[in-house]
Amino acid sequence: MSVESVEDAPALSTPAAVGGAPAPAPRPWLVIRPRSGWAALDLRELWRYRDLLLTLAARDVKLRYRQTLLGAAWVVLQPLLGAGIFAFVFGLVAKLPSEGLPYFVFAYAGLTAWTAFQTTFAKASGCLLQNANLVSKVYFPRLVLPLSTAFGAALDFVIALAVLAGMLAAFRVPLTPAVLLLPVWFVLLMLAALGLGLAAAALSARYRDVQYILPVLLQLAMYASPVAYGVEVVPEAWRTLYQLNPLAGLLEACRWSLLGTSAPPAFAVAYSAAVAGITFVGGALVFRRAERRFADVL
Amino acid sequence: MSSSEIALSVRGLAKSYRIAEGRRRTTTLGEALVGRLRRPFARARGETFWALDDVSFDVRRGDVVGIIGRNGAGKSTLLKIISRITEPTRGEVALYGRVGSLLEVGTGFHAELTGRENIYLNGSILGMRRAEIVRRFDEIVAFAGVERFLDTPVKHYSSGMYVRLAFAVAAHLEPEILIIDEVLAVGDTGFQKRCLAKMGEVAQQGRTILFVSHQLSAVAGLCNKSIFLEAGKLRSTGPVHEVIHDYVESLSRQEGESPHKVRRAGSGELRFAAAATDKQAYKPGELIHLDFEVTRARSFHGKVAASFLVVSEREETVLHLDGRLVGHWVDADRLRPARMTIRGPWLKPGRYRVDAYLTTHAIIDKYEAAAFFTVLPILPYPYPTNDEAGMYGTVLADFEVNEGAPCNGTSQTSREAIAP
């Protein structure tokens, strides 16, 4: 939205008119006018709406498992079941290596990080359609909607990590100092997910097919990333090409921090981090550019 | 508090929408891509529709401004631009204060969440800070009267409770400029009155209100200024009664277009030469006069009945006015202009068509759409409410309610007995 905000304008303290003449116009608090092209992110306004951001995040968390039989247990059950399938298919049947760890733990760690990415991406991309009634009835910085989706994913991640901690204790897998870097990988992963989600959300406001393509692309991306298997099964000759997928570096880094598996090459991590940052900023800019039409096309 | 301070100023505001050619508008990515590939340099074609066209006005602090106009006049577009939901195509709006807008009651309410959770959610969606909601929480709950159901999901609320809760949150918004779109169109009358009172309170605190309603009586009762939009353009602005007058005038003028004469059925010895109402527009309850004249086309003797149907826009026959019932016959040998006076019932606001018939045992003349008239959207009742009160039923009743009156019909305030 093309809005120029003038902070602390003395609109309400302007002296009253003298002698019946209208008061000289004070500086407006806000001027609404059409604007074209790219718009700045306006982080200050986002900060002013932080309560809404948190309230929406809380709403999503509360709503997700209301009226389900097992409630919040699904947060844990979903990756457990997924890891079980991977352990069976890739570990037991395909007999892929897992750096000496139980395949179940190996797959579970990868799936935890992947789930955080996938959930955020999917939720952020669908947030405009989901909240169309809000977008067409109330003003707030539209970025609040996709950003609020990251909180739920972060909460799930923390819960899944607690379960993983239990597994590590049971299988006597020691923690390494690399675990301290986990928050960094997680933030980068979220930035990438949000950046893609923002761009997809902007696109899906206009073109509804985006929501049908995304699940397919996500599935593809999962198998192109080291989630169900480790990078070591990728042939040496292909490895550099494989690392072009920025998720590869981040997911390997997560597994390294969690399980002490072999560290991804530094260049891959640096590359992934850079791509994640650029993706986020780019996605946010695309979103901001498209947002002035949201209310008209939703 | 000075009334000369400006609260908002609108300058040359315009908003256009592009109506895609024919029915086509690309909503799938595939279509858009194919279109792009076929004509890579073509600009998207289609008609431009100006929902709002070069509108300028100022609103002073403390004013309560009613925005009136027909459907599609641009009222909602104007409110959406001022609320920053959509952006103008041209022009600008300068706001001298925080804006809170209420384009819908209960925006963001979620059925699965409890009343308490919805208060926080709705409040923060409307732009309240959490601390603000916490501070006013008890007040909101008391205003809505839902204390006992705070921790019940709102899907179990009655629709009345739901609306009360939603409005209660909104009524406690404290912006300097409050924008309200038809929100009074829900809820029961008692609660609406409290909301109106609450809004009046807001206005007295020097806040500014912009208010859209189809109910002229609500606008007249609540607002001191008004803005009349027609087809996206500002038609008149100023004190509320002057603007309402302009609006009513324009409604009457527009309805005065010549009725399309339809081919006439019937044996045709006698024909209606004319049939017209004395005015183009009436307030509900106003006397309606229908003047008509019959001419003889071919040889005919004897008396025939003149009969009229008043048909609503929904093709409902609301009134059947047959002269025979009141002893009137058209004598073919002594043709004179006649006037029918319709005293009751009160017709609902809307447009009506009059079909005229001359009959004996067979139809002699069937003159469909002989006349048109409009009943203005002013409810003849003492209390302004919403569109929902009075939504059902074909006509409006002249009625009142008394408590504590005896039930055997001897109450002093009961209406006169039915005339013999």
Alpha-carbon distance A151 to A155, whole Å? 6
- Name the residue among B2, B9, B126 with its Cβ closest to that of A16: B2
Contact A29 B97 (CB under 8 A): yes
Task: Pick the more confident residue, B202 or A262.
Answer: A262
- How much of chain A is helix, strand and coil, in % rounded to 5? 65, 0, 30
Listed by number, the residues of chain B in 248-287 with a beta carbon closer than 8 Å to a beta carbon of chain A are: none
In this prediction, residue B286 carries a pLDDT of: 87
State the smallest CA–CA distance between residue A265 and chain B in angstroms.
Answer: 38
Contact A295 B80 (CB under 8 A): yes
Check CB contact of B97 with chain A, cutoff 8 Å.
yes
Q: How many CA atoms lie within 13 A of B195 on its CB side?
A: 29
Q: Which of B385, B360, B160 is nearest to B266 (CA)?
A: B360
Listed by number, the residues of chain A in 67-96 with a beta carbon closer than 8 Å to a beta carbon of chain B are: 67
Check CB contact of B111 with chain A, cutoff 8 Å.
no
Contact B96 A203 (CB under 8 A): no
The DSSP H or E segment spanning A112 is helix A103-130
In this prediction, residue B300 carries a pLDDT of: 84
Size of interface A-B (CB pairs under 8 A): 142
User: Strand, coil or helix: what is A62?
Assistant: helix
Alpha-carbon distance B265 to B367, whole Å? 7
The angle at the Cα of B6, spanning B246 to B228, to the nearest 5 degrees, equals 15
Check CB contact of B91 with chain A, cutoff 8 Å.
yes
Tens digit of pLDDT for each residue in B307-332?
Answer: 999 988 766 788 999 999 999 999 88
In this prediction, residue A205 carries a pLDDT of: 85
Q: Which residues neighbour B151 within 8 Å (Cβ) at sequence distance 6 or greater?
A: B114, B115, B116
What are residue B320's DSSP bridge partners?
A: B309
B92 contact residues in A (CB cutoff 8 A): 31-33
Check CB contact of B6 with chain A, cutoff 8 Å.
yes
Tens digit of pLDDT for each residue in A124-182?
Answer: 999 999 898 889 888 999 999 999 999 989 999 999 999 999 999 998 888 899 999 99
Contact B95 A2 (CB under 8 A): no
Number of neighbouring beta carbons within 10 Å of residue B28: 14
In this prediction, residue B254 carries a pLDDT of: 53
In this prediction, residue B182 carries a pLDDT of: 67
Q: What is the DSSP letter of A93?
A: I
In this prediction, residue B102 carries a pLDDT of: 81
Most confident of A128-132, A292-296, B28-32: A128-132
B103 contact residues in A (CB cutoff 8 A): 137-138
One DSSP character per residue, A212-275 reads HHHHHHHHHHHHTTTSSS-GGGS-GGGHHHHTTSHHHHHHHHHHHHHH--PPPPHHHHHHHHHH
Asked if residue B99 has pLDDT above 90, the reply is no
B104 contact residues in A (CB cutoff 8 A): 133, 137
Contact B363, B306 (CB under 8 A): no
State percent of chain B over pLDDT 70. Answer: 78
Match 């560290």 to its residue by tokens: A263
- Mean pLDDT for A74-90 is 89
Task: Pick the more confident residue, A252 or B389.
Answer: A252
Q: How many residues does chain A have?
A: 298
Match 């005339």 to its residue by tokens: B419
Q: Which residues neighbour A261 within 8 Å (Cβ) at sequence distance 6 or greater?
A: A99, A101, A106, A230, A252, A255
Asked if residue A1 has pLDDT above 60, the reply is no
- Beta-strand relationship, B346-347 and B338-342: unpaired
Check CB contact of A262 with chain B, cutoff 8 Å.
no
Asked if residue B417 has pLDDT above 90, the reply is no
Q: Is the pTM of this model over 0.80?
A: no
Alpha-carbon distance B291 to B306, whole Å? 12
Most confident of A86-100, A183-197, B15-29, B387-401: A183-197
Check CB contact of B101 with chain A, cutoff 8 Å.
yes
B59 contact residues in A (CB cutoff 8 A): none
* Pick from A171-185, B37-51, B273-287: least confident: B37-51
- Mean pLDDT for B91-106 is 86
Listed by number, the residues of chain B in 175-204 with a beta carbon closer than 8 Å to a beta carbon of chain A are: 176
- Name the residue among A28, A66, A137 with its Cβ closest to that of B95: A28
Check CB contact of A135 with chain B, cutoff 8 Å.
yes
In this prediction, residue A104 carries a pLDDT of: 92
Asked if residue B98 has pLDDT above 90, the reply is no
Check CB contact of B35 with chain A, cutoff 8 Å.
no
A25 contact residues in B (CB cutoff 8 A): 6, 9, 94
Task: Pick the more confident residue, B182 or B75.
Answer: B75
Mutate: best of A59, A67, A206, A291, partner B, most B CBs <10 A: A59
Asked if residue A84 has pLDDT above 90, the reply is yes
Asked if residue A190 has pLDDT above 70, the reply is yes
Number of neighbouring beta carbons within 10 Å of residue A60: 18
Check CB contact of B87 with chain A, cutoff 8 Å.
yes
Most confident of B137-141, B253-257, B273-277, B399-403: B137-141
Alpha-carbon distance B365 to B264, whole Å? 7
- Mean pLDDT for B1-13 is 79
Asked if residue B274 has pLDDT above 70, the reply is yes
Contact B162, B145 (CB under 8 A): no
* Pick from A6-15, A253-262, A289-298, B341-350: least confident: A6-15
In this prediction, residue B416 carries a pLDDT of: 43
Contact B241, B220 (CB under 8 A): yes
Check CB contact of B151 with chain A, cutoff 8 Å.
no
B97 contact residues in A (CB cutoff 8 A): 11-12, 29
Nearest CA in chain B to A137: B103
Asked whether the CA dihedral B127, B132, B134, B139 is positive or negative, the reply is: negative
Task: Pick the more confident residue, B284 or A3.
Answer: B284
Contact A55 B124 (CB under 8 A): yes
